[in-house]
Amino acid sequence: MLPPLLLLVAAAVAPAQASGDGCSVGCPLALAAYYFSAESNLSFIASLFGIRDYSALLPYNPSITNPNYIVTGDRVSVPFRCSCLSLPSPAAKTFLAGSFPHALSTPSGETYADVAAEFANLTTPEWLEAANPGQAGTARTVNVTVNCSCGDERVSNRYGLFLTYPLWEGETLASVAEGYGFSSPAQMEMIRRYNPGMDGVSGKEIVFIPVRGNASQVEGIKVDRSIEFSYEELSNATLGFSMHHQIGQGGFGSVYYAELRGEKAAIKKMDAQASQEFLAELKILTHVHHSNLVRLIGYCVEHCLFLVYEFIENGNLGQHLHGTGYERLSWATRVRIALDSARGLEYIHEHTVPVYVHRDIKSANILIDKDFRAKVADFGLSKLAEIGSMSQSLPTRVVGTFGYMPPEYARYGEVSPKVDVYAFGIVLYELLSGKEAIVKSSESTYDAKGLFYMVNSPCI
């Protein structure tokens, strides 16, 4: 594993409340979650915040492996100093924010709404007017304030580094917090106390998400490291891996539900002979981070092999399409699931170093969270593709699921991203038709046919 990336800030921070509640002192570091659009690039984002070289953003964004390509909709964390500022009027009104001079294209041609849009709604026209009273339509430069938080010891003394996060359509405080690993009732109550009055609010508001560190010294953000659990902790969390906690059974072992250290988790207990698959998943998910890939929390190698993942509440796509007891997916939801899955695959195919081929894409390996967003899972068969051109093929033994394997791979074992692209096409067929990838004309497995053979069979 790569060594952990630590963002160390060796400066004392006095307790201060969230933006807008009054303050006496700020803190040396805060982060802003900048929504990346098709028109954005890292150089542009850095320039907005007075950062000369965009490479200064990279330590705060370990998931960005190719600075020239970032997926639209991803959030770029931008570091800035969180200061205690005073509004021009009334003078006594103090608030926490970073202040950035911004040159308008023309005094009358760029509105405060335009400026807010450039800053990806990290500020608002109302805040711009308050910070620059009477200057609309006349000023050539305005001060842009991005609200921030330094924490509050009355809520918790565990956190000192906070992310300013503008909600977009469909997002809520709870959904954002869960995306950053806060899911237990105690954690959610803490998040609500950091953001009073924001519970249930959706869109065009700003919330503050604690990242890491205590209020006197920020400890930093750690990535590329998974927690090593003890067998005793996993056993206690699952009541000795009881059937009551078992939620799944796969080719390489069983899956159990547990709550570990305040977080819901899925524990995969793998068979001893699955060491190769265990190492493949551990290697990939320790280094690859994307919102459309399942997150690995940790592992254990005592007695058996265990992988601990984030728990995805809503099952998998195959269950929603072909199982019983599930509501019918709307077309909008199906499209969103398809796009999420495609983004996850695109990321491992094109934007990781090295790149990977999953080799077992199927509806059962696309997990659905409570917001019906998709995450690609089960990387045990993934193949490292250290080849110069991703259009090349790498011969290997054939693994995967019948019905999702392209014919040339099934015959010759040639591995390339096309293996995943073909399988994803089968998943799209399932999404569009509601039919299963494998069609049986009888109960016999010998009569099972995949989509490729059904499509290419002559009409009768």
What residue numbers does the annotated binding site cover?
269
Residues counted in the chain: 460
Which residues, in sequence order, are bridge partners of residue 147?
97
Residues 254 and 38 sit within 8 Å (Cβ to Cβ): no
Say whether 360 is catalytic.
yes
Report angle CA 332, 172, 288 to the nearest 5 degrees: 75
The token pair at 133 is: 């009273």
Contacts of 261 (CB under 8 A, 6+ apart): none
Which tokens go with 323? Answer: 């199982």
User: Residues forming the annotated binding site for ATP?
Assistant: 269
Task: Give the angle subtended at the CA of 214 by the CAs of 210 and 215, to the nearest 5°.
Answer: 95
- Give the Cα separation of 5 and 225 in Å (integer): 9
If we measure between CA atoms, which residue out of 384, 351, 364, 375 comes closest to residue 280?
A: 384
Cis amide bond preceding 196, omega within 30: no
Among candidate residues 360, 369, 378, 420, the one labeled active-site is 360
Spatial distance between the Cα atoms of 269 and 98, rounded to a whole number of angstroms: 47
Strands 253-260 and 263-270: antiparallel
**Token pair of 429 as six digits:** 């067929």
For 105, the 3-state DSSP assignment is coil
Q: Which residues pair with 450 in a beta bridge?
A: 438
CA distance 178 to 68: 29
| Spatial CA neighbour of 160 closest among 59, 34, 25 | 25
Pairwise CA distance, residues 174 & 171, whole Å: 8
Alpha-carbon 117 to chain mean position: 23
**Could you tell me which residues come within 8 angstroms of residue 175 by beta carbon, excluding any fewer than 6 positions away?**
371
The residues annotated with a catalytic role in the active site are 360
